[in-house]
Structure 1
Amino acid sequence: MELLASKKRQKGKALQSWRRDFRKNGSLYLLVLPVVIFYFIFNYMPMYGVLMSFQDFSPRLGIGGSEWVGLQHFRRFLGSTDFQRVFFNTLKISFSTLICEFPTPILLALMLNEMQNRHIKKVVQTLSYLPHFISLVVICGMIKTFVANDGLIGSVIAQMTGNNSSLLMQANKFLPIYVLSSIWQAVGWESIIYLAALAGVDPQLYEAAEIDGAGRIRKIINITLPSISTTIVTMLILRLGKVMNVGYEKIILLYNEVIYDTSDVISTYVYRMGFENQDWGYSAAVGLFNSAINLVLLVFTNTISKKMSGTSLW
């Protein structure tokens, strides 16, 4: 009885504390409310649709009326000839993009941080930010134009290799096109967070290093990079956590049947199975499989980072 009364008192105190906090910071709670509603509607409510993965789903019958098939769709995907192709294409494209793209915003931020001429610095920043604000459809249209057999890049490559077909009709050219265009799109925008981290580095550290005779490279290695290492590790964890989510919009806009063997990934496969073949349950199962791998990678990366560097998301 005493334990029950103690728990009630604790709940009462917690409720009073929450009420006091709400009265004090009510305007802040109201500001965050639209964000909470947005994520609840668009991120949490759709989780109900995960049940489609275990059903022979029919839009006419709905989730409540469709036949339950258990793990049949998962076994079908893992046993299909498409699994190995889309799974390894996803890994290949994701890790190639990660390895090539992830360091470039850091290098750009370091370069801009060391640049003394403000006018040139602003021009470089503006030019590097612009691709992020261009529509993806326009970006892909530009890429197709550049790599066509008579395009700026395609014609040069054609003269060097003797192959006059568009680069997007050559399976072995898709990966470099995707990675290089991703770097062009993201390098400027992603450098902003590193520039913000660099702005927080104590200038006295640089002054002390100069007194000790350290040059610019030595200061970057011993002061700048260690000072922003937490930001770098956090961004790396977030990137590894979505390594399986290769952007299907860009790939769908660029690829074609000729290069399916190297360009088809899980997200585009889900799109085709769901919207073109109308195999809704199977498509949902493949998407859930992909999300499960992302979750495992995120938890694994976060755990390793926490043990090795003490930096983690939770």
Structure 2
Amino acid sequence: MELTMHRKKKLTKARKPAARKFVMAYHLMLLPGIILLILFNFLPMFGIIMAFQDFVPARGFLHSTWVGLAHFQYMFSLPDSFQIFRNTIVIAGGKIIFGTLVPIIFALLLNEIRVKWFKQTVQTIVYLPNFLSWVVLGAVFTMILANEGMVNQFLGIFGIQPISFLASNTWFQPIMIITDVWKGYGYATIIYLAAMTSINPDLYESAALDGANRWQNMIHITLPAIMPMVILVATLSLGNILSAGFDQIYNLYNPIVYPTGDIIDTYVYRFGLRGAQYSFGAAVGLLKSVISLVLIVISYKLAKKFAHYTLF
């Protein structure tokens, strides 16, 4: 017995250096990502001080005039401030709502397909737009939605006059929501399909013995089973309510649709960078970041309460 214990202690001691080397390899793999995170996320946070200064690049942070909350007061005094926040919330809120509902419905329908090759083909096709940048898709949608584009040519068959979709304050926000959902619903569908694979097949067999059809299985078994994942995805997306998608809107909007298409990010870009109002742009961006942080904390609490999801 003593020999056995002695051997176990020797084996344990021998394994410790190997385990440390194994863990160190994982830490080294994380190192490039940590360095990029520090360079592009943490170090730029020192620029927050610009929001409280009348920043002049030639003077730098140390010699620029301190103005306190003047830029924030000026921001709320602008007639465009309410409009910009409203546009951001409407566009981002529409993306979150429809970006959650459409993948659920599509995943439920796709899960009912029994022909494996067809199911995999459809799944791959709807997932492909997720890899395309908005620079490419912006040019594609601009051609499709132009006055002589595919959509207006189709509407012309029914005698409908051409519509300037991307120059219309009525159509611009719905188009931003629809195109964003089209681009991203394939990725979200995969998440829900993965959640469906964990459903116990015995539940469907029991339901079949009770005479349940496929529609009833979908409503009473599949949907309740993936509901925790749905709640998790929906609550975590609340943190993005003020991120309506700069790259999409910047590639599709124009001065005509500023009243309905201008969001916080594009506003900061136009006035902060192109207009060289660095302090004002930093103030708007900081306000957005603070509100987003509060929403992320709230969404995390909701995810913990309703979906039992925890990070810490």
Q: TM-score range by the shorter chain?
A: 0.7 to 0.9
Cross-structure match for 2:175 = 177
Shift of 1:40: 1.9
CA distance in 1, matches of 2:194, 2:105: 14
| Paired residues of 2:166 and 2:252 also in contact (CA < 8 A) | yes
Extract unaligned runs of 5+ from structure 2.
1-15
Shift of 1:158: 5.9
5 Å-filtered alignment, 1:24-35, equals 25-35=23-33
Identity of aligned residues (%): 37
Aligned partner of 2:277 in structure 1 is 279
Residues 95, 177 of structure 2: 8 Å contact kept: yes
For residues 169 and 94 of structure 1, do their structure 2 counterparts lie closer, same or farther at Cα, with a shift above 3 Å needed?
same
Distance 1:293 1:19 in 2: 47
What does 1:103-114 align with in structure 2 at a 5 Å threshold?
Answer: 103-114=101-112
TM-score norm. by structure 2 comes to: 0.87
Please say which of residues 30-39 and 41-50 is displaced more in the overlay: 30-39
The offset of 1:162, in angstroms, is: 5.1
Deviations 1:169-209 (A, max 9, x none): 11101012111111211111221222222222222222233
Q: 1:87 to 1:160 in 2, by over 3 A?
A: farther
* 2:232–2:307 contact (8 Å) kept in structure 1: no
What is the match of residue 289 of structure 1?
287
Q: Retained in 1: the 8 A contact 2:103–2:186?
A: yes
CA distance in 2, matches of 1:231, 1:171: 35
Given that 1:149 and 1:158 are in contact with CA atoms closer than 8 Å, whether structure 2 keeps it comes out as no
| 1:172 aligned counterpart, secondary structure | coil
Aligned counterparts, 1:125-136, within 5 A: 125-136=123-134
Q: 1:138 maps to what in 2?
A: 136
1:13 is matched with none
Q: Does structure 1 conserve the Cα–Cα contact (< 8 Å) formed by 2:138 and 2:248?
A: yes
Change beyond 3 A, Cα 1:233–1:165:
closer
TM-aligned CA deviation for residue 94 of structure 1: 1.1
Once the two structures are superposed, residues 144-177 of structure 1 have per-residue CA deviations (whole angstroms, 9 ceiling, x without a partner) of 1111111111334467685435211111010121
Structure 2 match to 1:149? 147
1:303: Cα distance to partner?
2.6
Aligned equivalents of 1:62, 1:112: Cα separation in 2: 57
CA shift in 2, pair 1:272/1:61, >3 Å: same
- Change in Cα spacing, 1:19 to 1:70, as seen in structure 2 (3 Å) is farther
Counterpart contact for 2:237–2:299, Cα < 8 Å: no
SS of 2:241's equivalent? coil
CA drift at 1:227: 2.3
Q: How many pairs are equivalent? A: 297
Confirm or deny: 8 A CA contact 1:174 1:263 kept in the other structure: yes
- Rounded to whole Å, the distance in 1 between the matches of 2:161 and 2:286 is 41
Which has the higher mean CA deviation after the structures are superposed, 293-302 or 204-213?
204-213
Q: Is the 8 A contact 1:233 1:311 kept in 2?
A: no
SS in 2 for 1:228: helix
Q: What are the ranges of 5 or more consecutive residues in structure 1 without an aligned counterpart? A: 1-17
Structure 1 residue aligned with 2:227? 229
Match of 1:298 among 296, 299, 303: 296
Question: In the superposition, relative to structure 1, how do residues 24 and 248 fare at CA in structure 2: closer, same or farther (>3 Å)?
Answer: closer
**What is residue 206 of structure 2 aligned with on the other side?**
208
1:101 aligns with 2:99: yes
Higher alpha-carbon deviation: 129-138 or 179-188: 129-138
Which position in structure 1 is the counterpart of 2:238? 240
Indicate conservation of the 8 Å contact 1:169/1:258, yes or no. Answer: yes
Q: Which residue in the other structure is 1:8 paired with? A: none
| Structure 1 length-normalised TM | 0.86
Q: List per-residue Cα deviations over 1:53-98 (Å, max 9, x = no partner).
A: 1111122222233222111111111111110110101111111122
* Matching residue of 1:56: 54
Q: Tell me how large the CA RMSD over aligned residues is.
A: 2.3
Inter-CA distance 160–302: structure 2 relative to 1 (3 Å threshold):
farther
d(CA) in 1 for partners of 2:137, 2:113: 29
Which of 174, 191, 194 is the matching residue for 1:193?
Answer: 191
CA contact (8 A) 1:234 1:312 kept: no
Question: Which range moves more in the overlay, 56-65 or 141-150?
Answer: 56-65
Describe the SS at the equivalent of 2:243: coil
* Structure 1 pair 112–308 and aligned structure 2 pair: CA distance change class (3 A): closer
Counterpart in 2 of 1:119? 117
Quickly say closer, same or farther: Cα 1:22–1:76, change in 2 above 3 A.
farther
Alignment partners' CA distance in 1, 2:53 and 2:140: 41
One-letter amino acid of the structure 1 residue matched with residue 97 of structure 2: I
User: Following the alignment from structure 1 to structure 2, what is the Cα–Cα distance between the partners of residues 148 and 159?
Assistant: 16
